[in-house]
Structure formats: structure tokens, C-alpha cells
């Protein structure tokens, strides 16, 4: 198998969604919880996300890195159940298809202002281009990802340096200016930390490219961890710059605080940075997102025969074609807002599943654990895994307590929501988010049943679960 991608490509893919256009609005939605101490919350959020990333890194350093669909592979092999692995990984398919639809709808809306196209055909044109790039193969998609993320990172670094020159130290004094912050600092910073976790959605895109990466068991774990730490560093620096340039009490009036602070340092209008930056960031996020549902579906091949079928370069394989068709249907039906109900919970269910599996891995599957190159001591992995599962559970619980507009507004996808009717998102999460997750899982059960009947009719046999890692 040709493996054209290296560590740079994996880092670029992992950074696609965490550095989406919402990065320019940092620390929007968090500063009202943490006050001038908000950068501390971003540091804590980065460390919390690292517990999930470490769980991914452990599995990615095992022979499972040679398979598509890490969530399915990790959960099914650890707990000895293909059905469980499928039902834990399945929500991410719908979640990332919804995210992809939102991103192409946003890009389509921008494109329609330049070309004689309405937003929906423009969005479909963007989606077709994305699928075409990925159909050319991992090398083409990886090179383009690097070509987009590289300038984006350079822009963000330049903005950070310019903003640092304009920071006013007095803006951080007092660090806890309000009675609630002074009286309950840990509670306030804890709430702010939870809000920062939403911004790391999509870091697992790097894991999705493991089968296309050279020496994946060595390269991909490091790249995913580097990407999470880098995304956290950017978010922390952006929050520090925004709060250092714009007084905390006035930050709420800035539509894009980080961009406004950097523009102040450079002496230019905010739009000069925000226009090209938003386009680059949204394109990078859309390119990275395509990998996630497509490779997850491909990983279901032992449950759904044919899901991993390959095609000649230039022709979408079944998993990629299904991803494009589902995202296109969401756009055409104007159902982006409704589809996004599933996004955050669907993604963090998978994160929690991998973290919980890693916690018990040394004890229930010692053979697989011994074959991990990145082998955290058993007791330490149990602690990290439990912490990661709790982190994911906290985000899911918070998502079920906030309306979809509020929870999605904490992600880096917030600017893409401009293409969605706000009334669709300002709804009770218990009548939108929870039913969306349950209905999607019921659809997954139906897929399992149909696939089982198909295998029975064809007499298809599956290798033992341990065959994926036993020597």
C-alpha cells in the first residue's frame, strides 16, 4: 500500500477543525466565564483534551493504526464486540457529515457573492471539488491540506506577535474582577475550562489518515499530540492577546476579538485579516473533515461488507461517495441546522469510547497493550483514560444543557453557522440534540441488522477480533 503522507501532513489535517474560522473570534463565549483569567482556562482545557489525545495515541501506536476507523477498531477489539464498536463509532459519521455540510454551505455562501450562482449550487460545487480532491488520493489531499494550513498558521502567528506588541498589562488587573470570580474562582474557571473543550472538536482527523501515513505507529501518535498542543497554544495565545489589547469589559462588543486585537497591533482594519483568514480557515476545516466520515465508514468493512472497497485514482470509493452524497443531501434539503444537532454529542461519544477503552486496555487486552509502541504504564493509562472519558462525558452533558446555538457557538465552527437559520438552533437540547442522537443510533441498529442478513446470505466469514493485532 502506498503511504504518501508524513508527519507534517498529519499535523495539518489534525489542525484543520481546531483552527477553523472561529479561531479569529477567540475567546468568544469563554471570557464571560473566566474574566481576565480566561487564558488559564485554555491551558486547562488543552490538558484535559490531551487525556483523550493520549488514549488515541496509545491505540495509534498499535497494529490498529493499519486499519481505517480507529474508534470502531479500538472499542471493538478492547471490549470484544463488533456491535458495540459500530454503535460507538457510528454517531461520528452523522456528526462529521453535518459539520462538512455546514462548512461547504458557508463556503458556498461566500462563493455565491463572487459568481452568478445561488448559495446552494455554489455549496454543491464546493463539495464536489472537495470530493474530487480526495478521490485523487491521499497524496493530493494531503498536499493541499498542507498548502492551506501552512499560510493559515503563519497568519495566526503573525497576528499573535502583532497583538503581543499592543498588549496592555493593566488589562489583567484585577485578574478576578467580579464577586463571583473572586468568591468561587475554581468553579468559575472550571466552567470556562469546559467551554474551551468544544474548540478541540475534530483533532482526531489526524487519526483518520493513519493508513495513508508512512510508519503510522510512530508518526501519527506524535502528530496528533503535537496538533492538540499546538491548537491549545494558539487558543491560549489568542485569548491572551484579545484580553490584553481589549479591556475585558469591552470584549463582549467585539465580533472577532482576536482579529480586532491583532488588527489594532498592525494598525489595519479588522476586515483585512478576517476576510482571507476566514476563507483559509474554513477551507482547511472542510478539507480535513472529509477524511473523518469517509475513513470511519471504510473501517466498518467487517460489519458492512464492501465499505472499504477501493477504486482507481480519480474515482470516489464507496465510503467517500457516501460521505459526499449525505453532505450534499443535507445541503439540498436545507437541513444543515437540523443535522448539526448530532454534531457535538456524536463526536464526543466516540472520544469517550476510545478513552474508556484505553483505561481498561492493559487489563482486558494485555496482548494488544503489549504491542503498543506508546505504552503508558497500566496504572497511568487507567487514570488518563478515566480522565478522558470524564472529559468527554462533561462535554456531552453540557451539550444537553445548552441550546444547539450556544454549544455550537463554542466550537471553531461558529462563523459557518451564519449560513444556518438561527431559529433552528435556538431550541431545547432535550427535544433536538438527544432525539437526534437516539434516532441516529436506531438507524445504526438497522444498518447492523441489514448487514448481518447480507453476510448470512453470502456466507461471509469474519476473522477473529484478535487477528488484527496478534502476532
- As given in the structure block, the three cell numbers for residue 356 are 474508556
Average pLDDT over residues 361-377: 94
Looking at residue 434, what is its pLDDT? 95
Axis-axis angle for helices 270-298, 119-135 (nearest 10)? 60
Distance CA 150, CA 144 (A): 10
Tell me the pLDDT of the chain averaged across its residues. 93
Q: Give the pLDDT confidence of 328-350 residue by residue, as tens digits.
A: 999 999 999 999 999 999 999 99
Q: Which is it for the CA torsion 9, 295, 314, 288, positive or negative?
A: negative
Looking at residue 154, what is its pLDDT? 96
Looking at residue 445, what is its pLDDT? 96
Q: Give the pLDDT confidence of 393-438 residue by residue, as tens digits.
A: 999 999 999 999 999 999 999 888 888 888 899 899 989 999 999 9
Q: Give the pLDDT confidence of 136-163 residue by residue, as tens digits.
A: 999 999 999 999 999 999 999 999 999 9
Looking at residue 469, what is its pLDDT? 66
- Cα–Cα distances in Å, from 306 out to 310, 370, 460? 9, 31, 11
Looking at residue 462, what is its pLDDT? 77
Residue 191: pLDDT above 60? yes
The secondary structure of residue 115, as a DSSP letter, is: S
Residues in the chain: 471
List Cβ neighbours of 31 (8 Å cut-off, separation of 6 or more): 38, 239, 242, 243, 248, 251, 252, 257
**Percent share of the chain, pLDDT over 70:** 99
Confidence band for 1, pLDDT divided at 50, 70 and 90: low
Q: Give the pLDDT confidence of 84-115 residue by residue, as tens digits.
A: 999 999 999 999 999 999 999 999 999 998 88
Average pLDDT over residues 357-367: 96
Distance CA 354, CA 297 (A): 17
Distance CA 47, CA 40 (A): 11
Amino acid at each position: 500500500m502506498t503511504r504518501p503522507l508524513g508527519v507534517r501532513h498529519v499535523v495539518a489535517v489534525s489542525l484543520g477543525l481546531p483552527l477553523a474560522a472561529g479561531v479569529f473570534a477567540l475567546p468568544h463565549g469563554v471570557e464571560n466565564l473566566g474574566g481576565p483569567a480566561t487564558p488559564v482556562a485554555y491551558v486547562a482545557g488543552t490538558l484535559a483534551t490531551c487525556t483523550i489525545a493520549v488514549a488515541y495515541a496509545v491505540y495509534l501506536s498499535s497494529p490498529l493504526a493499519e486499519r481505517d476507523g480507529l474508534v470502531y477498531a479500538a472499542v471493538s477489539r478492547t471490549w470484544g464486540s463488533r456491535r458495540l464498536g459500530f454503535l460507538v463509532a457510528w454517531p461520528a459519521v452523522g456528526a462529521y457529515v453535518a459539520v462538512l455540510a455546514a462548512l461547504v454551505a458557508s463556503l458556498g455562501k461566500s462563493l455565491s457573492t463572487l459568481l452568478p450562482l445561488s448559495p446552494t449550487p455554489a455549496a454543491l460545487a464546493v463539495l464536489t471539488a472537495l470530493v474530487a480532491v480526495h478521490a485523487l488520493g491521499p497524496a493530493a489531499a494531503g498536499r493541499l491540506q498542507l498548502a492551506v494550513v501552512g499560510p493559515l498558521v503563519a497568519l495566526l502567528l503573525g497576528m499573535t506577535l502583532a497583538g503581543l506588541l499592543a498588549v496592555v498589562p493593566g488589562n489583567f488587573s484585577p485578574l478576578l474582577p467580579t464577586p463571583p470570580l473572586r468568591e468561587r474562582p475554581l468553579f468559575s474557571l472550571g466552567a470556562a475550562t469546559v467551554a474551551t473543550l468544544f474548540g478541540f472538536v475534530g483533532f482526531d482527523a489526524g487519526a483518520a489518515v493513519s493508513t495513508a501515513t508512512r510508519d503510522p505507529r510512530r508518526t501519527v501518535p506524535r502528530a496528533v499530540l503535537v496538533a492538540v498542543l499546538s491548537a491549545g497554544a494558539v487558543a491560549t495565545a489568542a485569548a491572551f492577546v484579545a484580553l490584553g489589547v481589549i479591556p475585558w469589559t469591552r470584549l463582549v462588543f467585539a465580533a472577532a476579538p482576536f482579529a480586532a486585537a491583532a488588527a489594532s497591533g498592525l494598525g489595519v482594519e479588522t476586515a483585512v485579516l478576517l476576510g482571507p483568514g476566514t476563507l483559509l480557515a474554513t477551507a482547511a476545516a472542510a478539507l480535513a473533515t472529509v477524511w473523518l466520515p469517509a475513513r470511519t465508514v471504510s473501517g466498518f468493512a467487517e460489519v458492512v461488507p464492501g465499505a472499504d472497497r477501493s477504486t482507481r485514482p480519480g474515482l470516489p470509493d464507496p465510503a467517500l461517495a457516501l460521505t459526499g452524497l449525505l453532505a450534499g443531501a443535507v445541503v439540498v434539503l436545507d437541513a444543515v441546522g437540523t443535522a448539526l444537532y448530532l454534531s457535538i454529542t456524536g463526536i464526543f461519544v466516540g472520544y469517550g469510547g476510545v478513552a474508556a477503552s484505553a483505561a481498561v486496555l492493559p487489563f482486558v487486552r494485555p496482548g494488544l497493550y503489549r504491542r503498543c509502541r506508546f505504552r503508558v504504564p497500566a496504572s497511568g493509562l487507567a487514570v488518563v483514560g478515566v480522565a478522558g472519558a470524564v472529559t468527554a462525558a462533561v462535554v456531552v452533558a453540557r451539550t444537553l444543557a445548552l441550546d444547539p446555538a450556544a454549544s455550537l457557538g463554542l466550537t471553531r465552527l461558529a462563523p459557518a453557522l451564519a449560513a444556518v437559520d438561527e431559529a433552528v438552533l435556538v431550541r431545547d437540547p432535550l427535544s433536538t440534540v438527544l432525539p437526534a442522537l437516539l434516532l441516529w443510533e436506531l438507524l445504526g441498529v438497522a444498518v447492523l441488522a441489514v448487514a448481518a442478513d447480507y453476510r448470512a446470505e453470502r456466507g461471509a466469514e469474519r476473522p477473529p477480533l484478535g487477528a488484527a493485532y496478534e502476532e
